[in-house]
A = this chain, B = another copy of it.
Amino acid sequence: MHTSPDSIARNAAPEGGRPAHPKRPRNVLFIMCDQLRRDYLSCYGHPTLRTPNIDWLAGRGVRFDQAYVQGAVCGPSRMSIYTGRYVSSHGSIFNFVPLRATEQGLGDYLRPAGIRCAVVGKTHVEGDTQGLARLGVKTDSMQGVLAAQGGFEPYVRDDGIWPFDGPQGLNQYDMYLRAKGYAGANLWHEQANSAMGDDGELLSGWHMRHADRPARIAEADSETAFMTDRAMDFIRARGEQPWCLHLSYIKPHWPYMAPAPYHGMYGPQDVLPPQRSQRELDDSHPVTDGYRQWDVSRSFCNDAVRRRVIPAYMGLVRQIDDHLGRLFDFLRRHGRLDDTLIVFASDHGDYLGDHWLGEKELFHDTVARVPLIVYDPTPQADARRGSTERSLVEAIDIVPTILDALGLPIPAHIIEGRSLLPMLHGCQDTPWRTAAFSEFNFGFRDSVRVPLARTVDQCHAMVVYDGRWKYVHYDGLPPHLFDLRNDPQEFEDRGRDPGLQGQRAEMKDRLFEWMFQRKRHPTIGLEQAHAYHAQEQQAVHIGVW
């Protein structure tokens, strides 16, 4: 299914002065939101939150209804998205676990083809400082910078989330705010992510009770506006040169604090009831129990918290949608809607109290099933515009889709995702995957790991979902099993149901196959491997009498 170098060469060859096939996109705009739930977009069914611009994109592209991330927490999910590889393959199993210097990201595949690949916003890539130092790679060399950025040129690298203490001062958003006249030690915190009290005091956005207040910053100076502006700067500067931009908003990720007017655009009446059931609490499991002990889960079990936080979360989503409208207009004016592949996705959801949990990190659809929309401007994609694709897709499919759309080879010995291009073109004619996979590690959460007296190595979990059954395997703990056909809300854990032993064995077998078939030789391509024997025979005589 993947485009081979041969077929690329043929496609690229002009016949009678015109390309043999209709043109490909020249540019790529890969938009990502952080912690955006799939069901908090109107095109994915939210009843009161309107996202007309994202909906517009869905109307022009294909909306994937069953898209799963490979790890429902920022770092691992993004490393999988950027490398096209499962979490166990790239090894960055949690936030801030450095991405091995030899892993390659999207930019590493585009740069040799002459396409600049930059990021505006968040990647969560943690450079493999030790690995690079061991290899003598200077952190300020071009290669050192790119390796530490997962292959992205850091046009504006900004992961948000600047900790309390001390001035930050060196990130571009901070410099922008200072130039605008904002004052403070940590402008990100004090201005963009805090509110003003009735007596003029600073109300930190870290405290969710302040989520109904507006951020102290003007909307036009907020992070979402700033990043959208920088995206336009980059695209404008590229002119007619091909480009790939990863526009990676850090919202609606916490702190849940929206600038006016978005802070007040939604109210408690818009807050949907939590998806949770008493059955979940009755059916105790040490991992979910442990996560439910975590502060953020306890907070979101309080309805007052949900009523105050969720409207802010919705406002932040709506704000992104408005800025995407601005960006799409910009693209249209510059003719870029005709030659730009646009991908819209999220790295994971947000429990917001569903399943008696806050944050993310586990396996429920709430956090693992994300929005994914792909717009291909070429005529081949016309037949499927505005359609919904229900196949099981994985976030690791994004990079191979981009490569395929640009006519670049997909290194099949490295990338574990598959191109969605045939689906976008309505010509998917080879068998598609029948299960999606993800992983998580609960060892980075003390409320879970410590009571179990385990090392982080003993806390890994693997998830397989086949479109009906979702199975979660732990090392020496009971598994989870959910029947999403009959229990789409995932309330009833059948992981210990004696009647379903056969089903669990079947799902475990899927995991076996998946582990067994992992791409394990990233340093040698298939063609090279297949040429081995003949080359050896030319070089030496083995066993000749």
Binding site for B on A (CB under 8 A): 87-88, 91-102, 104, 108, 128, 130-132, 134-137, 141-144, 147, 161, 163-164, 204, 206-209, 254, 294-300, 302, 305, 358-359, 412-413, 443-447, 449, 455-457, 460, 462, 473, 475, 508, 511-513, 515-524, 526, 529-530, 532-534, 538-545
Contacts and interface: CB of A to CB of B under 8 A. Distances in A.
Given A163-B539, A512-B511, A523-B99, A529 B94 contact: yes
B91 A522 contact: yes
Contact of A299 (B297, B534, B545): B545
A300 B545 CA distance: 9
A508 B204 CA distance: 54
Given A101-B135, A135-B137, A147-B135, A529 B456 contact: yes
A446 B534 contact: yes
Nearest to A513: B475
A134 B204 CA distance: 44
A165 to B, nearest CB: 8
A524 B132 CA distance: 14
Given A135-B137, A297-B543, A299-B545, 20 more contacts: A88-B518, A91-B523, A92-B521, A94-B521, A97-B529, A104-B134, A135-B135, A208-B545, A254-B542, A295-B543, A296-B542, A299-B544, A358-B543, A359-B542, A455-B526, A457-B526, A460-B517, A475-B513, A475-B517, A515-B515
Contact of A207 (B91, B137, B541): B541
A524 B90 CA distance: 13
Contacts of A445: 533
Given A526-B456, A543-B296, A142 B136 contact: yes
Contacts of A359: 542-543
Contacts of A163: 538-540
A457 B516 CA distance: 10
